[in-house]
């Protein structure tokens, strides 16, 4: 049995992206090539890793176990195999959504200036892979209360409500924070930062459903399990035909934070943070009205 690193990279990307299209784009390969690599890995291991009977990409129990091992081991293995003297690529984690416009521009400038690649890694946990060393730096929404991390607030933007197209709110052009406090909300228990505690004590919403990532979050909203609340830029990059995005007139702003470990940080992590900060402050702000989905 000869399992290649490319097989493991393909599986890890699929496990983290949770869709073949996104994983293939991340790896820079075609979707059929990715599918063949996953099937070949299953043949070599003699185990089924992906549940193909499911409508959505889901891992089997064996797939979940393998993902848990690879998310730690594969980055360490790639580091050990890197040629001596070569500067390591900088792994930048994110969970809810990468700031595509100014974020990609900042990374392009950083790579050109420092001749170092930045690998973006989606990780569905509170620190986007930073706590267990899977990434070297992370973009997370909200404050980071961890003394082992150095943080910088990069960017603030409005929050927007996500509602089902079948919701009684679907015809509204805007909502207030107090109105959402009288509704059930969808809660992301893994990487989310917004909780009922963000509302006044006398007007806190109930939790209608819990999720662990953005895909589950939007499924819960579409199924009328509760209302979602997202940063505007996240909503712009996650279209769902059964979900409408409605501006909130007085929601507290969402803060995007750049975090790096205080100890043993990547030597260029601070420079990437400076570049991201500069681009974030020079970029035009997303407008809430642009995030609304058109209904037929």
Sorted by where each starts, the structural domains of the chain and their CATH numbers stand as 1-81 (1.10.10.10), 157-253 (3.40.190.10)
Q: Is 201 exposed, middle or buried (0-12, 13-18, 19+ CB in 10 A)?
A: exposed
Give the Cβ contact number of residue 245 at 10 Å.
24
Residue-level pLDDT, tens digit, the chain, 296 residues: 678 888 888 998 888 888 888 788 777 788 888 899 999 999 999 999 998 877 778 899 999 999 988 887 887 776 666 555 456 789 999 988 888 889 999 999 898 888 889 999 988 888 999 988 889 999 999 988 888 899 999 989 999 999 999 999 999 999 999 999 999 999 999 988 889 999 998 889 999 999 999 999 999 999 999 999 999 989 988 889 999 999 999 999 999 999 999 888 898 999 999 999 998 887 665 554 444 444 43
In this prediction, residue 261 carries a pLDDT of 92
In this prediction, residue 231 carries a pLDDT of 93
Residue in this structure with the two tokens 């919701």, named with its chain if needed: 167
Give the Cβ contact number of residue 141 at 10 Å.
26
Q: Which secondary-structure segment (H or E) carries 258?
A: strand 254-261
The greatest distance separating any two alpha carbons of the chain, rounded to the nearest whole angstrom, comes to 62
In this prediction, residue 85 carries a pLDDT of 46
Q: In terms of DSSP bridges, do strands 90-94 and 137-141 run parallel, antiparallel, or are they unpaired?
A: parallel
In this prediction, residue 31 carries a pLDDT of 86
- Measured N-to-C along each axis, helices 31-45 and 20-27 cross at an angle, to the nearest 10 degrees, of 100
In this prediction, residue 195 carries a pLDDT of 92
In this prediction, residue 56 carries a pLDDT of 76
Q: How would you label 203-229 residue by residue, b for 16+ Cβ within 10 Å and e otherwise?
A: eebeebbbbebbbbbbbbbbebbbbbb
In this prediction, residue 292 carries a pLDDT of 45
Dist CA 62 CA 210 (whole Å)? 24
- Residue 161 pairs in a beta bridge with 229, 246
Provide the token pair at 294. Answer: 């058109």
Residue 157 has φ and ψ, to the nearest 5°, of: -155, 160
Indicate left, alpha or beta for 80 from its phi (over 0: left) and psi (-120 to 50: alpha). alpha
Does this model's pTM top 0.85? My answer is: no
Provide the token pair at 266. Answer: 């990547």
């Amino acid at each position: 049995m000869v399992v290649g690193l490319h097989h493991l990279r393909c599986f890890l990307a699929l496990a983290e992206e949770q869709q073949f299209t996104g994983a293939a784009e991340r790896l820079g390969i075609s979707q059929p090539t990715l599918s063949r690599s996953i099937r070949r890995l299953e043949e070599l291991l003699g185990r089924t890793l992906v549940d193909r009977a499911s409508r959505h990409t889901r891992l089997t129990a064996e797939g979940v176990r393998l993902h848990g091992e690879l998310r730690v081991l594969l980055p360490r293995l790639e580091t050990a195999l890197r040629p001596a003297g070569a500067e390591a690529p900088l792994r930048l984690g994110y969970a809810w959504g990468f700031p595509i416009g100014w974020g990609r521009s900042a990374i392009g400038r950083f790579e050109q200036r420092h001749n170092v690649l930045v690998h973006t890694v989606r990780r569905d946990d509170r620190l986007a892979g930073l706590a267990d060393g899977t990434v070297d730096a992370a973009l997370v929404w909200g404050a980071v209360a961890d003394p082992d991390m150095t943080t910088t607030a990069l960017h603030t933007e409005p929050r927007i409500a996500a509602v089902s197209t079948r919701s009684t709110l679907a015809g509204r052009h805007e909502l207030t924070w107090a109105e959402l406090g009288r509704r059930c909300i969808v809660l992301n228990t893994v990487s989310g930062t917004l909780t009922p505690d963000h509302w006044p004590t006398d007007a806190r919403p109930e939790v209608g459903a819990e999720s662990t990532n953005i895909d589950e979050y939007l499924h819960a909203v579409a199924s009328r399990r509760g209302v979602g609340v997202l940063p505007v830029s996240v909503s712009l990059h996650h279209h769902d035909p059964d979900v409408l995005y409605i501006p909130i007139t007085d929601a507290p702003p969402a803060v995007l934070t750049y975090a790096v470990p205080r100890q043993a940080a990547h030597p260029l992590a601070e420079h990437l943070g400076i570049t991201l900060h500069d681009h974030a402050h020079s970029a035009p702000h997303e407008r809430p009205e642009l995030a609304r989905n058109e209904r037929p």
